[in-house]
Structure 1
């Protein structure tokens, strides 16, 4: 059976869009950010402003408003950059990485052959990093299908072309990652996503939230190396890749203690460069008393957040 016209159109549009120059897509990201920000009614604007108010309650209002625009601009630009990265070949993407800070940390970890967990928060333009890491190590990465079929095919093909092995986000995927790490391979974990449920909670910007302990468990079971990695666009039309050693986060700790320490590490990075974090992500509803948080007016949502913060103090 042939694909319906809408499916063919989606495929053609995605391919055309991904072939635009990086500078053009960055320009489109800038325009899109202004449209979204000045609309004032977009859900993404509400979510970003609420998240910033939660994370930085003592920041002056005008400073936080300026930060909201910067965050919208950087996030919109990052998503436009993703399309260019997905559509470009391996060699072109490698050329876009201009500087690598902490490069020797990565080489040292590779030489040990103990496996490696790359901890990558929703920060900057993370898709550009796959090309460089896959050049040096065998990658096994969890992949959650995109809802739109044509876009899913496009993204899946792009992520797997660098010899990366994609596994599902379930128990089978975790088993494959454990096997890869024990064989000296590498995986990538997004540590700041929100599990659907959990037992214990981890404070994140002072709010107790269900949090994934996958990074801690993988590292502690396999003794793999752990590196915090992120990529930021630079003024020269490319990206700078940053690598930090975070072995101290997991050493001599339980999984709960390590998860807490990891979230403190993420907070530190975000406070250093808050404009590059993807603040549209609905991270702060991962608590039984915060369900539907992003559907509430900001004032009411912040009252619920404060009640959850007080529960930590009382405990």
Structure 2
């Protein structure tokens, strides 16, 4: 059954890969409101996160932002075929501008690697396409829960030369080697790590469990850190932005570095808040810890 479902998803991605982006954006305008209305989990998590992050916005503005966010998330899913399966020249043509490339070029010219913090913003698969088209690029990869999709996703992400490594010590060693070769690597800065691999650091004013891999990589390689996003220009394409990371990411202290990572993600989100994937449970471990400290034994984590 799962193999059949994976085949259907692959067929859908392949079909949509031939559609123009304007058509995919129009389709997202029809599907996005349905996701908001009928997908209770996505709607509630998005709205609760926005309540935390933008408390000064009116309830109406937060609701509108949630609706726009889910439309953009829907568009990202529809665009996966474009990023993974469309002809490379077609994907390349959809990248309308690249801002801040010099930050990567300068790092390599200095004999330093570049660590790209790539939050779940805009279309991060298009960002992967561009990075692996222009630089030796390595990123960690965790296979999907639906194993039958693994070869499809892996092929899509690796087709322009990216090297995918596992999310374990062997993968970390591969990242270090790439940085020592003055190459670029990608890190997801906005996913909660496993217990023991992070610290609680502020994210929009509330503590969020944040990975501490970055200071270890910087300390051993003197790499330059930038934030990278592929901002969607609705119906037209994408603009890639590379931003200087918050200077605290270079601090050897785990908490200070993690605070810098979260501040860097906040700066990227400020480009277009609706394009961030707010439906991710970024504060899940925060809630777990707070409830543990309060000695609650019967609770429901949102």
Same fold (TM over 0.5): yes
Q: Tell whether the 8 Å contact from 1:284 to 1:290 is kept in structure 2 after alignment.
A: no
Q: Distance in 1 between matches of 2:46 and 2:23?
A: 25
Structure 1 residues 226 and 111: alpha-carbon distance in aligned structure 2, compared to 1, 3 A threshold? same
* Count of aligned positions: 294
Indicate whether 1:289 and 2:290 are aligned.
yes
Which residue in 1 is equivalent to 2:58?
60
Q: Tell whether the 8 Å contact from 1:285 to 1:293 is kept in structure 2 after alignment.
A: no
Could you tell me the TM-score, scaled by structure 2's length? 0.88
Q: Tell whether the 8 Å contact from 2:215 to 2:252 is kept in structure 1 after alignment.
A: no
**Secondary structure at the counterpart of residue 286 of structure 1:** helix
Which residue in 1 is equivalent to 2:193?
195
Q: Distance in 2 between matches of 1:157 and 1:167?
A: 13
Instruction: Give the aligned CA root-mean-square deviation in angstroms.
Output: 2.5
Which residue in 1 is equivalent to 2:29?
30
Q: Distance in 1 between matches of 2:255 and 2:186?
A: 20
The alpha carbon displacement at 1:230 in A equals 0.5
Indicate whether 1:174 and 2:172 are aligned.
yes
Q: Tell whether the 8 Å contact from 1:140 to 1:164 is kept in structure 2 after alignment.
A: yes
Structure 1 residues 276 and 11: alpha-carbon distance in aligned structure 2, compared to 1, 3 A threshold? closer
Q: Tell whether the 8 Å contact from 1:11 to 1:150 is kept in structure 2 after alignment.
A: no
Which residue in 2 is equivalent to 1:227?
226
The partner residue of 1:116 within 114, 117, 130 is 114
Could you tell me the TM-score, scaled by structure 1's length? 0.85
Q: Tell whether the 8 Å contact from 2:37 to 2:43 is kept in structure 1 after alignment.
A: no
Indicate whether 1:21 and 2:20 are aligned.
yes
Which residue in 1 is equivalent to 2:163?
165
The alpha carbon displacement at 1:134 in A equals 1.9
Which residue in 1 is equivalent to 2:259?
260
Instruction: List alignment gaps of at least 5 residues for structure 2.
Output: none
1:160-204 deviation line (CA, Å, top 9, x unaligned): 111111100111100111111111111100111001213632122
Q: Tell whether the 8 Å contact from 1:102 to 1:242 is kept in structure 2 after alignment.
A: yes
Q: Tell whether the 8 Å contact from 2:25 to 2:234 is kept in structure 1 after alignment.
A: no
5 Å matches for 1:238-249? 238-246=237-245, 248-249=247-248
Structure 1 residues 75 and 60: alpha-carbon distance in aligned structure 2, compared to 1, 3 A threshold? same
Instruction: List alignment gaps of at least 5 residues for structure 1.
Output: 302-315
Q: Distance in 2 between matches of 1:129 and 1:99?
A: 12
Which residue in 2 is equivalent to 1:50?
48
